[in-house]
């Protein structure tokens, strides 16, 4: 029987997910996404939310995420005992076998979150963020996005 294929996350898309999550918290007072499907070509994030978001909110969200990307913030990992991580972070999305030492990904002073996935070294590596669609159904706000390349420092 073949070995199970471990899902490979794209570091650019995965790092963008963290920035989108923190931007959703800051701008729209949501929690982090409860479900994410991260792929190289396009990704989607699902949030518990009470409504669809407006075109102006989509534009503001997209612009803020791109501002963070352009700031070229360092993306670093740190490790802490699980007991400390439980006090500081929600560990619900980590696998049960995450162990007694938890990896935290910090994106400058913008975001910090427990994570097991691969990331870029700085936000400047992510490229241009673009929301391609949003939908709302049954209390779930879905955001679909793609990444491109930055053209110089303009967005």
**Average pLDDT estimate for 99-103:** 92
What local confidence, expressed as pLDDT, does residue 8 receive?
A: 58
Tens digits of per-residue pLDDT, 119-131?
A: 999 999 999 999 9
Is 112 domain-assigned? yes
pLDDT value at 12 more than 70: yes
- Round to whole Å and give the CA distance between 135 and 10: 24
What local confidence, expressed as pLDDT, does residue 134 receive?
A: 98
pLDDT value at 143 more than 70: yes
Total tally of structural domains belonging to the chain? 1
Query: How confident is the prediction for the chain on average, in pLDDT?
Result: 90
What local confidence, expressed as pLDDT, does residue 51 receive?
A: 97
pLDDT value at 17 more than 90: yes
Is 2 domain-assigned? no
pLDDT value at 155 more than 60: no
Q: Residues of the chain with pLDDT > 90: what percent?
A: 80
- Round to whole Å and give the CA distance between 125 and 155: 14
Is 106 domain-assigned? yes
Is 75 domain-assigned? yes
Q: Are the CB atoms for 135 and 119 separated by under 8 Å?
A: no
What local confidence, expressed as pLDDT, does residue 32 receive?
A: 94
Residue 5 three-state SS? coil
Residue that has been written with the tokens 């391609």 in this structure: 132
Tens digits of per-residue pLDDT, 51-66?
A: 999 999 999 999 999 9
Instruction: Indicate which CATH number applies to the domain containing 46.
Output: 3.30.980.10
Is 3 domain-assigned? no
Q: Where are the beta strands (DSSP E) in 17-151?
A: 35-37, 43-48, 75-81, 101-107, 111-114, 129-137, 140-147
- Round to whole Å and give the CA distance between 112 and 109: 8
Is 4 domain-assigned? no
Indicate the pLDDT class of residue 3, thresholds 50, 70 and 90. Answer: very low
- Domain that residue 112 falls in: 11-147
Is 20 domain-assigned? yes
Is 152 domain-assigned? no
What local confidence, expressed as pLDDT, does residue 116 receive?
A: 86
């Amino acid at each position: 029987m073949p070995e199970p294929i471990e899902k490979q996350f794209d570091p650019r898309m995965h790092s963008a997910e963290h920035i989108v999550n923190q931007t959703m918290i800051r701008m729209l007072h949501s929690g982090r996404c409860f479900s994410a499907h991260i792929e190289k070509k396009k990704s989607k994030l699902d949030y518990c939310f009470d409504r669809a978001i407006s075109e102006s909110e989509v534009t503001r969200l997209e612009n803020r995420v791109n501002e963070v990307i352009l700031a070229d913030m360092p993306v670093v990992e740190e490790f802490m005992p699980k007991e400390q991580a439980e006090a500081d972070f929600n560990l619900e999305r980590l696998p049960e076998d995450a162990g007694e030492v938890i990896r935290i990904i910090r994106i400058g002073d913008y975001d910090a979150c427990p994570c097991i996935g691969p990331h870029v070294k700085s936000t400047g590596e992510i490229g241009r963020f673009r929301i391609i669609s949003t939908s709302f159904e049954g209390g779930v706000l879905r955001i679909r996005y793609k990444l491109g390349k930055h053209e110089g420092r303009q967005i």
